[in-house]
Copies of this chain bind each other. A is one copy, B any other.
Amino acid sequence: MPVVVQKYGGSSLATAEKIRVVAGKICARRSSGVDLVVVVSAMGDTTDDLIALARLASGPSHVPDPREMDTLLSTGELVTATLMAIAIRSMGHDVVSLSGPQAGVRTDSRHGSARIADIDTTRLKRELGSGKIVIVAGFQGLAETEDVTTLGRGGSDTTAVAIAAGLKASRCEIFTDVDGIYTTDPRLVPDARKLREIGYEEMLELASLGAKMNPRSIELGAVYDVEILVASTFEDKPGTLIHGESRMMEVRKAVTGVAVTRNVGKIMVRGVEDRPGVAAEIFEPLAEAGISVDVIVQNAGADGKADISFTVAEGDLDRALAITERCQSCSAGGVTGGRGFSKVSIVGTGMTNSPGYAARMFRALSAAGVNIDMITTSEIRITCIIDAPLVEKAARSLHRAFGLHEASAG
């Protein structure tokens, strides 16, 4: 029988009643004649509640130990997995729940953001072989130290794709509270259209487009060629299939979607020496402080000096600014920071090696009266940093300019 791996997110499992509804869907799918492995997240806000408890236990002036946090947070998925197994058994199907470690998820020992090293499929195959539906607690694994690790936020997606790869499953299905991947955020652009399919690379760039997919799970899917369906748990609508470009059947558009990120803070460092090691001097202390730097732009100027600008989440701006000001190489020209920016990107593999998309993007923004503050590009993406209040206007104009409101063209 073909093996299908499913994953249900926490909002789909927030109450015992919802768990029973999902259990019914799982039983129906099993009866259709597939072997099923189902990865589950923690119920609703469980993870946030556990984090809050840990803060209370540690007191305000201490950060809870990452190893202890991992065991603590892993209990959330264990609870959902066992409740799901209990619900499924009450519906007459044979079932077993496995923790991440029991399911053979082996990771490195980076507590809080562990990477999957291997899936030992021995027990998964044994349980499937005995005719059971297998429920797996997502988000967690076992390090070589025999300690429980977690994969970071959204890690259950990664669990599901990794298990699908390990079992050579025919498909990985991610069920969530959105019904697929859209050409842009439907709350910003009423024209936004759901994509029937999308390639791995584009999906990686669009990861912020509302499906809240974990980029690592997409990467893993690309490497092991696992087809991933993103669909709604409770609405019976077709979702979006993420897969390799070669199987793409939809008439291709050059641009697949418009991605928007809000609450962007910007830091500019002027007149730094243009020599090797300067960038590391600026960005290493930020990384050590756990601050994610997003867009980085450097212009080499005259007289051996350069200007470096970069963006961080607005919430990190003050800390990032303080750290950057302490950097010796930055002291010469001065460090300035600002908030109130947004990021808007166009994404599409069709842009590769095709000229003119950047120009078309800038023209569309200009026509909409949107000034561009920073620009970066990758193979399949062009990103502009703009003033936050203009982001809706920018997204709408780009969505139209690249014909994303139409079913096919572009």
Stretch at the interface among A2-10, A64-72, A360-368: A64-72
Asked if B19 and A89 sit within 8 Å, CB to CB, the answer is no
Asked if A58 and B97 sit within 8 Å, CB to CB, the answer is no
Cβ of A96: which chain B residues have Cβ within 8 Å of it? Answer: 67
Instruction: Report A278 CB to chain B, min CB distance, Å.
Output: 38
Copies in the complex: 2
Instruction: Report A364 CB to chain B, min CB distance, Å.
Output: 51
**Cα A71 to Cα B96 with chains together (Å):** 11
Asked if B20 and A90 sit within 8 Å, CB to CB, the answer is no
Q: A72's contact among B54, B74, B83, by CB below 8 Å, is which?
A: B83
**Cα A86 to Cα B83 with chains together (Å):** 27
Asked if A79 and B84 sit within 8 Å, CB to CB, the answer is no
**Cα A22 to Cα B67 with chains together (Å):** 21
Asked if A303 lies at the interface with its beta carbon under 8 angstroms from chain B, I say: no
Interface positions of A from 294 to 336, Cβ below 8 Å from B = none
Quick one: CB contact mask for A129-155 with B, threshold 8 Å, 1 for yes?
Answer: 000000000000000001110000000
Instruction: Report A17 CB to chain B, min CB distance, Å.
Output: 7
Instruction: Report A51 CB to chain B, min CB distance, Å.
Output: 11
Which chain A residues have a beta carbon within 8 Å of chain B's beta carbons? 16-17, 19-20, 23, 50, 53-54, 56-59, 61-62, 64-65, 67-69, 71-72, 74-75, 78-79, 81-87, 89-90, 96-97, 99, 102, 123, 146-148
